[in-house]
Each structure stands twice: as C-alpha cells, then as structure tokens.
Amino acid sequence: MAIAVEPQTRDRVVRRRRSRTAVIDCDIHNALPSDEAIRQYLPRRWRNHHRMFGLRGHIGCEYPRANPNAARHDSWPPSGLPAGSDLDFMREQLLDEWDMEFGILNCLIGAGRQQNLEFGAAFSQGLNDWQIEAWLEPEPRLRASVVIPYEDGELSAAEIDRVGNHPGFVQVLVAARTQQPLGRRKYWKMYEACERHDLPLGIHFGGNSGQPLTGGGWPNHYYEDHAGMPQAFQSQVISLVTEGVFERFPGLKVVLIEGGFAWLPPLMWRLDRSWKRLKEEVPGLSRLPSETIRRHFWLTTQPMEEPPRHEYLVQLLEQLDMDDRLLFATDYPHWDFDSPAQAIPPSLPREFRRGVMSENARSLYRFEAA
C-alpha cells in the first residue's frame, strides 16, 4: 500500500529524493482499459477477427498468478479500470510519487505470441498506435517499447520500420520464452531493423511459446514458472552469443528485463570454458563469449538480487563487472514491484547507485541530461 503522508512532508520527501539521485524506471507495464479500446486501432478485418476469436496464443500453460493480473493490490485505479491502464493513476502512484524523470513502458499484451501471425502483426500495429495516442503523446516522461509479432522476423522488421523513428519508441520488445532460441536465423530480420533504427532489443520476463517451461518438461506451480524464468534468459544469452548474432549485427544492443543478473557471471565462466573446447563448431565467433556479453548486454535490476549477506552482493557485482550496464526498474504495477527508495542498498557506492538509478539508462536510451 502507498503510505499516506501530509502534503508538506511529501514535498520534503520528494525534494530529498530528487537531491539524492534521478530515477529512470526501465520497466513499467501499461494495460488496455478494455477490449474495445484496441478495436478502434484495428482495420475492419482484424477488428472482426478480434471480436470473433479474441486472442489465440499458445494455450495449455495456465499458472494462476499470485494476484489478479499479477498486480499489486493497491494498483487498481479508483476509476475501476484494470491495473496499469489508467494514465492519471499511473502518474499519481508511480511517476509523481517517485519523481521519475523517465519511464519505459513494456506492453505485455501478447501480440508476439499469436498463433495467427497476420493477426499478431495487425494487433502489434494497433497496440503501437494506441501507445502513441494514449500514453506517449499525453505524458512526456513516458517512452515505450515497440510491440512486434516476434515469431516472424519479416513482419517484425516491417513494424519496427513503421514506427521505429517515432521519438517515443526507445526499444523493441520480445518475450524471454520464444518458440526458438533467439539466435536462430528466423529472428535475424528483426535485428537488422533494430540496428537500422538504433533501437535496443528488450527481452522481457514471460511469454509462452508452446514449449515446456523447462528443459526437463512442464512444472506444476506458478512459483516454478516465476522463479524458473532466469533459465529462459540464460538460454537466450547462450543462443544469441553462440549463433554469432553480434558478429552479424555489431550494433545490436540487448536489454534483459526482469530476469535477474546473479546467474550471469557463472554463465559467462561456463560459456567461455565450453567455447574453448568447442570452438570449431562456431567458427564465426570473434571473441570470448564473456567479452561479447559485456559489450552487447544490459540488465534491469528488478527483481533485485538479495543474497543473504551484503558482502555477497558486492562480490557478485565485482564478478559481473558490468556496473554501467545495470538499469533500475520497478515492474509497476506488478506484485513484485521494487521501490526506488529501497531496491538498491544505500551501502553501495553513490556513483554506482547513480548509474543504476538513471545514468546507465540515460546513455543507453539517449535521454537528454536532467
């Protein structure tokens, strides 16, 4: 719950926060207020389709979430609209509350996992037009990720080309669980387009591609679905690096969103060792996997790593050696929200916190200085 404070106290709190460090939130989720809201952005053929069939992604992957829409209990707006769908309430509860300089919207409405790819493309277009009109134009602090039908490289590239030059779009969004590992050829057109528009590729927690959620089959619980997501991220890093995607698209930048980062140092060690043994299978790689990772990847902080002892966090950050690649995120309005005031322990160096809270994102997404 948001804590009620007297206006005066609140102003002081806000001022103190501002004097400490700017906040850029790299993971906010905007939702549709209703099905009807998107239909006006769809051409007649797909509007009818949406009315008749709704969304048809890969089904049979139901892990009832901890909360409705996985949202914080207090994030349901007084307007009665779904959590994350009311811009005024988002301003009040997030942007103003934390005095945010910028926030990046990652719209998770499933356009990328539609079985009907043509519909997925039309739905993506509709969502992006809706994002421009309903979010980016009315709120100058917000930026958004381009929603794409990511299981088809060409359709995705077309949508990136269509809206990629709009100044409000700062990233292209795919899900962590795709049909195939993201290094495979079928996704390359998408990376070409990312490079063309100088947009980072954001890989966000979630997705359902019809593949079992683990390499050992389908688990039973939401806890496994949720806590097991870093395994999907690890697989995507391995694939992108070993398929030589960064040799082909040297300008490509990848942001791993909501996947954690403590698993990355051991993955780099394992990949480096494995690559030394198996180099001949991937002759196109020009450098150590860990070097490629440190050049091309960024990671958001939420859900923040919380080792049992503070010194382990310090060790982890040193092993990771990517201080300038960590980006603060809240994951608003989801239940596992990270607070800008608490997520990054104040015992970490001030410069580090400044980088994570705002400056790393500022330079990646090219936001103007405060």
Partner 1 sequence: MIDCDIHNQLPSLETLVPYLEEHWRAYIRESAFVGPDVNDYPEGTGIPARPGTTPPSGGPPGSDPGFLCAQTLDAWDLELGILNCTYWVQSVHNEYLASALATAINTWQAEHWLTADSRLRASLVVPSQNPALAAQEIDRMGHHPGFVQVILPVRSWTPYGNRRFDPLYEAALRHDLVVGIHFGGSSGNPPTPCGWPSTYLEEYAGMSQVFQSQVLSLISEGTFDRYPGLRVALIEGGFTWMPSLMWRLDKEWRGLRRDIPWVKRPPSEYIREHIRLTLQPVDAPPQSRQMLEILEQMDGQDLLMYSSDYPHRHYDAPEEALPDQLPDLHWDRIGTENAREFYRL
H helices then E strands: how many in the chain? Answer: 15, 8
Q: Which of 34, 115, 165, 214 binds partner 1 (CB under 8 A)?
A: 214
Which CB, 263 or 352, lies closer to partner 1?
A: 263
Are 161 and 125 contacting, i.e. CB atoms less than 8 angstroms apart?
A: no
- Inter-residue contact 258 to 27 (CB < 8 Å): yes
H or E segment at 87? helix 87-90
Among 195, 149, 189, 153, CA closest to 173: 149
Nearest distance, CB of residue 238 and partner 1, angstroms: 5
With contact defined as beta carbons under 8 Å apart, do 304 and 336 qualify? no
Asked if 325 touches partner 1 (CB under 8 A), the answer is no
Residue with Cβ nearer partner 1 (81 or 264): 264
Q: Which residues of 342-356 are buried (b: 16+ CB within 10 A; e: fewer)?
A: ebbeeeeeeeebebb
Q: Name which position in 139, 219, 352, 354 contacts partner 1 (CB under 8 A).
A: 219
235 scored as a contact of partner 1 (CB under 8 A):
yes
C-beta neighbour count of 60 within 10 angstroms: 7
Stretch that binds partner 1, among 106-114, 140-148, 155-163, 231-239 (CB under 8 A): 231-239
List the one residue from 278, 286, 350, 351 that touches partner 1 (CB under 8 A). 278
Binding to partner 1 by residue 57, rule CB under 8 A? no
Closer Cβ to partner 1, 126 or 207, answer by number? 207
Per the structure block, which two tokens stand in for 273?
Answer: 């060792």
Range in contact with partner 1 (rule: CB under 8 A) among 13-21, 36-44, 158-166, 273-281: 273-281
Collapsing DSSP to helix, strand or coil, 163 comes out as helix
Q: Which amino acid is at 257?
A: I
Does position 165 bind partner 1 by CB under 8 A? no
Q: What are all long-range contacts of 45-49, with beta carbons under 8 Å and residues at least 24 apart?
A: 45/122, 46/119, 46/122, 46/123, 46/126, 49/116, 49/119
Whole-number minimum distance, CB 44 to partner 1, in Å?
35
Q: Least CB distance from residue 90 to partner 1, whole Å?
A: 23
- Interacting residues with partner 1 (CB under 8 A): 66, 176-184, 209, 211-224, 226-228, 230-232, 234-236, 238-239, 242-243, 260, 262-263, 265-267, 269-271, 273-275, 277-278, 281-282, 303, 305-308, 312, 315-316, 318-319, 335-336
